[in-house]
Structure 1
Amino acid sequence: MKRFLYCALVIFAGLMIHCTAWADMLEGFAGQKGKIDIAGGTAHIPVMTDAAKRIMAVNPDIRITIEGGGTGVGVQKAGEGLADIGNTGRALSEEEIAKYGLVSFAFAVDGVTLVLHPTNNVSELSADKVREIFAGTITNWKDVGGADAPITLYARDEASGTREVFWGKLLKKGLVADSANIVSSNGAMKVAVSNDVNAIGYMSIGFVDAAVKAPLLDGVEPSQDNARDGTYD
């Protein structure tokens, strides 16, 4: 499963199918009946919810449930048969494939961007500065052109595919300060950052709205177009 840098990074999200029968069902839902339970990565929720509504609107005998929990939860639930489809924002590990026998299918490109409080006057950060911020080396916004105020770090838990790609690609598997506040989903990240004027975090671009601010990274605007054409690589 291919992944690209995007502000923090760009990933191909993956579907993990617990049994091959579901793969056949993806060819078309007409005339189908039953329930599909989906769990895992929260970055997938907006598009999955929209797709589920469209499918159920014309197929009243199909019921689709969607819950988050993060990539790790999606892998586990799909692998243990507790969900039919597990959403993941990263490639399956060899250990997961061996343990569960899962197969992944790329179905979307998702951008992951740094986010700040909308009143923060910092509009651009370099990748090097981001690494220093998350390592705890830079602790004041004035050191990156902002106000004289302490930086509050927000990060995702280790079950998050967004976190794994952000840490591996942008942070180059470097240190994340112990002072970082851990949140469990993209939605929780948006709430936390929008309520903290000194915050910095990261999330799926699909969750970005007026509640948060997405700064440029090395002069490049975080957008899905830039993600698709390789500007963020």
Structure 2
Amino acid sequence: MKRGIWILAALLAWAVSPVSADLRAENWNAFAPLKGELTISGGTAHIPVMKTLSTEIMKASPAIRISIAGGGSGLGIKQVGEGIVAIGNSGRSPKPREIEKYGLVLHRWAVDGVAVAVHPDNPVHALTTAQLKAIYAGTLTSWKTLGGPDRAINLYTRDASSGTRSVFWKKALGKGEIHAKANFVKSNGAMKSALAGDPYGIGYLSVGHLDASVTGLAIDGVAPTLANVKSGTYAIARGLFSNTKGEARGLARAFIDALYSPRGQEIIAAKGFIPVKG
């Protein structure tokens, strides 16, 4: 099985009947008359929500198959625009030229912070923006300078198609340099694994992916918590989008409506994001 891809249940064939947004969270009754395959790709921050929601829907309606792939925001936008998938997830708003080129309709269902993170054994718990910029530019290279061990700082970053990288680059680095020797990882999950295994590493990932295996750093005295993201105090934040080519129909419409349902909002909050209703 390829990394980042989950194939989750049975049967094919598309259904195009409209679905009410008034979904019952207990048993997903709105999906009962539907069947077919729904394909989703793109931003990796979205995957925990996508997986949980898809599992519940397919348990309630075995005639539905939902396939979820990562690949980054740029890939999600491109694939939905080219008709390869029905929903393309992105951790950034598609650019105006992308919206115009592909006829995209944007569905923003959560707000997410992007946390700068390190191994939990690292004694450094806070940075200034100037220090962070110097680290990623490659001019500040030792943890000792920051009160940590006398070891080199190992940089981790995402590839250019990542919405997480785009937000980090713009809002944390002010579009500053990311050193060419930084280690590339392909997803939020891969970033967490890399930092959890490297006591001298530094990287960035969705606040929703923070747990005991990685520590989020305060930036200019503000910690990457959900409360601070929600209040706007923590400014390294972005919307999470599920984009469709034109107005969503059939299973895509039902799935997006499910994200805005009470149960969908519960799942979003449980995965560490701030739900956006409607």
Change (3 A) 1:78 1:175: same
Q: Which residue number in structure 1 is paired with residue 223 of structure 2?
A: 221
Q: CA deviation at 1:56?
A: 1.5
Judging changes above 3 Å, is the alpha-carbon distance between structure 1 residues 36 and 87 closer, same or farther for their aligned structure 2 residues? same
Aligned partner of 1:159 in structure 2 is: 161
The question of whether the paired residues in 1 share the 8 Å contact of 2:113 and 2:234 is answered with no
AA partner of residue 51 (structure 2): T
Q: Which moved further from structure 2: 120-129 or 152-161? A: 120-129
Indicate whether 1:80 and 2:89 are aligned: no
Q: Which residue of 2 aligns with 1:94?
A: 96
Q: Which is worse superposed, 104-113 or 157-166?
A: 104-113
Distance 1:22 1:230 in 2: 39
Match of 1:126 among 102, 125, 128: 128
Quote the offset at 1:59 in angstroms: 1.9
Is the Cα contact below 8 Å between 2:218 and 2:224 reproduced in 1?
yes
Runs (4+) of structure 1 exceeding 6 A deviation are none
- 2:182 is the counterpart of 1:180: yes
Match of 1:8 in 2: none
1:26 Cα deviation from its structure 2 partner: 7.2
- Percentage of matched positions with identical amino acids: 48
Question: What's 1:43 paired with?
Answer: 45
Alignment of 1:1-233 (within 5 A): 24-25=18-19, 27=21, 28=23, 29-30=30-31, 31-233=33-235
| CA-CA distance at 1:24 after TM superposition | 4.8
Cα RMSD (Å): 1.7
Task: Give the drift of 1:118.
Answer: 1.3
Q: Which amino acid aligns with 2:48?
A: P
Query: Structure 2, unaligned stretches of length 5 or more?
Result: 1-14, 24-29, 236-278
Check 1:153–1:56 CA distance in 2 against 1; reply closer, same or farther (3 A cut).
same
Deviations 1:97-148 (A, max 9, x none): 2221111111111121011011110011111111111111100011112111
In 1, Cα distance between the equivalents of 2:182 and 2:70? Answer: 22
Unmatched tracts of structure 1, length 5 or more: 1-20
Distance 2:41 2:118 in 1: 28
TM-score by length of 1: 0.86
Deviation by residue 1:55-103 (Cα, 9 ceiling, x = unmatched)? 2222222221111000011011101111100000011112212221111
Q: What letter corresponds to residue 140 of structure 1 in structure 2?
A: S
Whether the 8 Å CA contact 1:46–1:206 is kept in 2: the answer is no
Alpha-carbon distance change, 22 to 213 in structure 1, aligned in 2, over 3 angstroms? farther
- CA separation in 1, counterparts of 2:17 and 2:117? 35
* Paired residues of 2:46 and 2:89 also in contact (CA < 8 A): yes
Confirm or deny: 8 A CA contact 1:38 1:83 kept in the other structure: yes
Q: Which stretch has the larger CA shift, 213-222 or 100-109?
A: 213-222
Give the drift of 1:25. Answer: 4.2
Structure 1: distance between partners of 2:134 and 2:125: 17
Deviations 1:175-224 (A, max 9, x none): 11111111111111111111111100000112222221112122222111
